[in-house]
Amino acid sequence: MLIIDFVKEQRTFSPEEIELLLLVAAQIAIVVQKKTVEDTKSTFIATLTHDLRSPTIAQQKALEVIMTGKLGKSLEDFSEYLEDVYRINEEELRIINNILTVYHLESGMFRIKLALANIQAIINDTVRTMMPLAKEQEISIVQEVQSDLPEIVIDKDEIGRVIINLIGNALKHTYRGNKITVGANRQNNEIIIAVSDNGPGISEENKSKIFHRFPTEKRQIGTGLGLYLSKQLVEAHGGRIWFESEVGKGTTFYFSLPISHNA
């Protein structure tokens, strides 16, 4: 029996009492931890719903315009709207695929599929994918890729996904009319890939949280999984990811990929 009396003077607890107190403390810790996980989950579901809801509404609107028939009956009459629907759909797929990969990573089901790949080709593909989004914001994407890069053994889809996440972030945080640079260079036994923007930069306060799952700062849009996932993917390749950012000047995200012995 433990008697916690609220007396001012100190008293010594018996070994049994200490054991009981430790047990109670452990139970409280479990409850607190559960609550944190629950809170994180609800925040995640809220942002996810928001992220998927907005593009779905945008698609719905575009489809409604097409269906009124006001634009005409032939494909050319509404092709612009169809392209919008397609592009928004791609965005949704990216969000969904990010979540799936995080789930696979965390449940130990994730496997990278390694093969010899060309970084220049991957960058070309990712830039092509992101171009419509960039055009819409009047942002240009400039490539600065060293011409004689060796091929490397990587999972080209997953590395493409990292670059797309970084370009996506840069687009989200760059002002209309600005440019984003995607570069790649060889440094010793690594290829360093860099995505730069001249947006608002990352505040000191947020710098330490940027690679966390669901960073806690107030965001307008985003599930907060992109950088977390990118870090996992880069590290699964034996690489590193980091950034340099200055408030008011812009941000550059870098990641390295080892050039394997067989390349």
- Candidate list 62, 66, 127, 210; residue touching ligand ADP; CB under 6 A: 210
Binding range to Mg ion, per CB under 5 A, among 96-104, 179-187, 219-227, 249-257 = 219-227
Q: Identify the three-state secondary structure at position 17.
A: helix
Residue 126 as a binder of ligand ADP (CB under 6 A): the answer is no
Nearer to Mg ion by C-beta: 169 or 174?
169
Query: Which x/- pattern over 169-198 shows residues binding ligand ADP (rule: CB under 6 A)?
Result: xx--x-----------------------x-
219 binds ligand ADP (CB under 6 A): yes
- Per-residue contact string for residues 27-66; x = within reach of Mg ion by CB under 5 A: ----------------------------------------
| CB neighbour list of residue 160: distance below 8 Å, 6 or more residues apart | 122, 125, 126
Of residues 80-119, which lie at the interface with ligand ADP (CB under 6 A)?
A: none
Q: Using only the alpha carbons of the chain, give its radius of gyration.
A: 24
Binding residue (CB under 6 A) for ligand ADP from 55, 132, 183, 222: 222
Residue written as tokens 């928004």?
A: 88
CB of 168 to Mg ion, least distance (A): 5
The nearer residue to Mg ion, 66 or 210, going by C-beta atoms, is 210
Question: Exactly one of 101, 169, 174, 245 binds Mg ion (CB under 5 A); which one?
Answer: 169
Under rule CB under 6 A, residue 233 binds ligand ADP? no
Q: How many CA atoms lie within 13 A of 235 on its CB side?
A: 10
Give, as one character, the DSSP assignment of residue 213.
Answer: S
Backbone angles phi, psi at 155, to 5 degrees: -95, 105
Torsion sign over Cα 115, 119, 125, 129: positive
CB-side exposure of 174: number of CA atoms within 13 Å?
27
Can residue 227 be called a binding residue for ligand ADP (CB under 6 A)? yes
Interface with ligand ADP, residue 199, by CB under 6 A: yes
What are the CA-CA distances from residue 59 to residues 62, 81, 161, 167 (Å)? Answer: 5, 9, 23, 23
* Residue type present at position 248: G
Strands 179-187 and 140-145, how do they pair?
Answer: parallel
What is the binding site for ligand ADP (CB under 6 A)? 165, 169-170, 173, 197, 199, 202, 206, 210, 215, 217, 219, 222-228, 251
